[in-house]
Amino acid sequence: MTSERRQRVPTVLVVAGSDPTAGAGLQADLKTITRLGGYALTAVTAITIQDTQRVHQVHPLPARQVAQQMRVCLADLPVDCIKLGMLATREIVLAVADVLAEWPRIPVVADPVLTGTGGGTLLDAGGREAFLEKLLPWISLLTPNLPEAQMLSGLTVQSVPEMALAARQLAGDSQCAILVTGGHLPGEALTDLLWLDQQVSLFHSRRIPGTGFHGTGCTLASAIAVGLAQGKGGKEAVSLGLAYLQRAMAESLTLGQGQRLLHPAPSL
């Protein structure tokens, strides 16, 4: 007769859409969290029909079902961090915000998935407004790329100083940290900017040769979420997440006719 053993591992609840290529969305989150030693729970927000070239269709789930998935996981399992990805509609954004308000002590990492890397709208216009007004107050760390920072802040974001201005505006008076990733800036040297506790930290790296990586935002946010689930501070979790993303990009695979698929790198 064997006794039940409860092993404690960093547990992350992922709320995001499904990607059949497994390069982004829930599938990329699962691979990243597992590779970094965590355990991923999932709440599906939408089914996407996409390949490595573009998003063909998006089919959101009813908002109530998304919230129910989250609530049953949060009530039953010890969730250490919540990672938000594609939310698709205003109704889902509002439903997720209601759930987060019920568990305010759990850190939340949000990748503001507005459009697909290969095109396609992944959050409707009403959802963007609700994201800023209703959801952002419950988010611990937001990870926009340059186009997303520009869309959410309403500012022009084409340089590192402008990244800082956008991050400061997005954070506002909240305690939300903002990581603006600089992969869309030109040049071989990359700079990512973290706005945390009213201070700016810069992270520097070299551009990985090649273009068209699929799922970088999902992978980065999930890697950071594992760090927070492990109890690491925000700056350390971001640093480890960025390093993991660099390695995953360096080992990316060209399997389809479009974007390269990130290959899970060894844990750091």
- Tens of pLDDT, residue by residue, the chain (268 residues): 344 555 689 999 999 999 999 999 999 999 999 999 999 999 999 999 999 888 899 999 999 999 999 999 999 999 999 999 999 999 999 999 999 999 999 999 999 988 766 556 678 878 888 999 999 999 999 999 999 999 999 999 999 999 999 999 999 878 899 999 998 898 888 999 999 999 999 999 998 887 688 899 999 999 999 999 999 999 999 999 999 999 999 888 889 888 888 986 565 5
Give the total residue count for the chain. Answer: 268
Q: How many domains does the chain have?
A: 1
For residue 121, which phi and psi values (nearest 5 degrees)?
-85, 125
180 part of a folded domain: yes
Residue 145 belongs to what domain range? 11-261
191, 185 contact by CB (below 8 A): yes
3 part of a folded domain: no
- Nearest alpha-carbon partner for 92 in 108, 115, 68, 120: 68
Neighbouring C-alpha atoms within 13 Å toward the C-beta of 262: 29
- Nearest alpha-carbon partner for 195 in 164, 150, 154: 164
Type of residue numbered 58? V
266 part of a folded domain: no
Provide the greatest CA pair distance for the chain: 65
4 part of a folded domain: no
CATH number of the domain enclosing 244: 3.40.1190.20
Helix axes 160-171, 146-153, angle to 10 degrees: 50
136 part of a folded domain: yes
Helix axes 216-229, 25-35, angle to 10 degrees: 40
* Predicted local distance difference test score (pLDDT) of residue 120: 61
33 part of a folded domain: yes
16 part of a folded domain: yes
